[in-house]
């Protein structure tokens, strides 16, 4: 306990010691963060304001945007601030909070993607039962279950990690507090906790992945039986973006969390962390909005309504 209390802060990975490169890192991360912020807020706003989008699929998509916005906000702003202020430190409590929030949002994201696969399965394979199965109460319960499961998963692994003893080197070989990198700093034997973490993560991720693959196999079988090419195109345009998101998210996050901590170089760890923590929150709004006519029409409608309201106010201004 005395050794653990000596660790009052951690040092995160710095991208460079050169001031110009630190500013470049700050600008690049700022651009990525603003893109994720604008894109996800736009999706949330459009779905909330357009009544035509008050359906289960878009309800889950709005929850996904909230999770994506939260996950990138947990890690990127701190890294930006460190580069801008030429520092690398994060407090012990700040590291605990970052680990808990990031794992919570990441695991909730995976659970929600699984729920979205089930929603598409019922909509395409059992369309006559869709309104009964995916009613308002069921959708709220599914979304709440995804969030609650994320909290429980995060609390379990955050508590297990920080219950161990940290001493000696406090340098985290990552731009945010990541559990695989924190396990390297534990003084006691972390073999059992690491094996337990990997085993539980493999079971959880593999179970969700297998369920989604089975759902999409059934979906694609049903779609291929549709005689109308327009119906096939609509079904594929709805499912393929989700499949792309799932593949990108699971491939990068599983590589980062389910591999032995010493199996790759720090450069590769950094690249993988950027891919699974920053790319999905930026690309999700682009994938769904670019391939979804309903969202694009809702955005045009929202912009047109704003312009109409502005012009209407201008017309009724009194003449001098």
pLDDT of residue 315: 44
pLDDT of residue 201: 72
- Torsions phi, psi for 89 (to 5 deg): -85, 150
Helix (H, G, I), strand (E, B) or coil at 170: coil
Residue 291 pLDDT class (50, 70, 90 cuts): low
Q: What is the CATH number of domain 8-295?
A: 1.20.1070.10
86 φψ region: left (φ > 0), alpha (ψ -120 to 50), beta (else): left
Kindly report the number of other CB atoms within 10 A of residue 169's CB atom.
13
Q: What percentage of the chain has pLDDT greater than the value 90?
A: 30
Count how many residues are written for the chain: 320
The alpha carbon torsion through 158, 30, 292, 233 (nearest 10 deg) reads: -80
DSSP class of residue 9 equals E
The mean pLDDT of 296-304, rounded to a whole number, is 75
168 φψ region: left (φ > 0), alpha (ψ -120 to 50), beta (else): left
Please report the sign of the dihedral spanned by the C-alpha atoms of residue 211, residue 119, residue 278, residue 12: negative
102 φψ region: left (φ > 0), alpha (ψ -120 to 50), beta (else): alpha
Query: Considering the entire predicted model, what is its pTM?
Result: 0.86
pLDDT of residue 238: 66
Q: What is the pLDDT of residues 171-219, one digit of tens each?
A: 888 899 988 888 888 776 655 766 677 677 778 888 888 898 899 888 8
Domain boundaries defined on the chain: 8-295
**What's the longest Cα–Cα distance across the chain?**
81
pLDDT of residue 173: 84
Residue 161 pLDDT class (50, 70, 90 cuts): confident
Q: How far is CA 228 from CA 39, 140, 218, 304, in A?
A: 33, 33, 18, 33
pLDDT of residue 96: 93
Instruction: Report the chain's mean pLDDT, rounded to a whole number.
Output: 82
Cβ-based burial of 15 (10 A; exposed 0-12, middle 13-18, buried ≥19): middle
The tokens for 122 are 């019922």
Please report the sign of the dihedral spanned by the C-alpha atoms of residue 191, residue 250, residue 212, residue 61: positive
């Amino acid at each position: 306990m005395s050794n653990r209390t000596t660790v009052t802060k951690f040092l995160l990975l710095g991208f460079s010691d050169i001031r110009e490169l630190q500013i470049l890192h700050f600008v690049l991360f700022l651009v990525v963060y603003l893109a994720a912020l604008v894109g996800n807020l736009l999706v949330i706003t459009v779905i909330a304001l357009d009544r035509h989008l008050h359906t289960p699929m878009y309800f889950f998509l709005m929850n996904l945007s909230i999770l994506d916005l939260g996950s990138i906000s947990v890690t990127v702003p701190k890294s930006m601030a460190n580069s801008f202020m030429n520092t690398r430190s994060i407090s012990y409590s700040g590291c605990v909070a970052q680990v808990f929030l990031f794992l919570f949002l990441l695991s909730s994201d995976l659970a929600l993607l699984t729920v979205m696969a089930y929603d598409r399965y019922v909509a395409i394979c059992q369309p006559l039962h869709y309104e009964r199965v995916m009613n308002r109460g069921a959708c709220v319960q599914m979304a709440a279950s995804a969030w609650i499961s994320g909290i429980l998963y995060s609390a379990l692994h955050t508590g297990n990690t920080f219950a161990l003893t940290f001493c000696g080197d406090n340098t985290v070989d990552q731009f945010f507090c990541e559990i695989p990198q924190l396990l390297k700093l534990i003084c006691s034997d972390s073999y059992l906790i690491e094996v337990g973490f990997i085993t539980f993560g493999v079971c959880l991720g593999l179970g969700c992945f297998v369920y989604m693959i089975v759902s999409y196999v059934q979906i694609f079988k049903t779609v291929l039986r549709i005689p109308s090419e327009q119906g096939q195109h609509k079904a594929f345009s709805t499912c393929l973006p989700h499949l792309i998101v799932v593949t990108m998210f699971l491939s990068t996050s599983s590589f980062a969390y389910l591999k032995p901590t010493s199996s790759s170089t720090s450069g590769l760890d950094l690249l993988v962390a950027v891919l699974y923590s920053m790319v999905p929150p930026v690309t999700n709004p682009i994938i769904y909005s670019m391939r979804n006519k309903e969202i694009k029409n809702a955005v045009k409608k929202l912009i047109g309504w704003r312009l109409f309201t502005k012009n209407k106010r201008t017309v009724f201004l009194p003449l001098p």
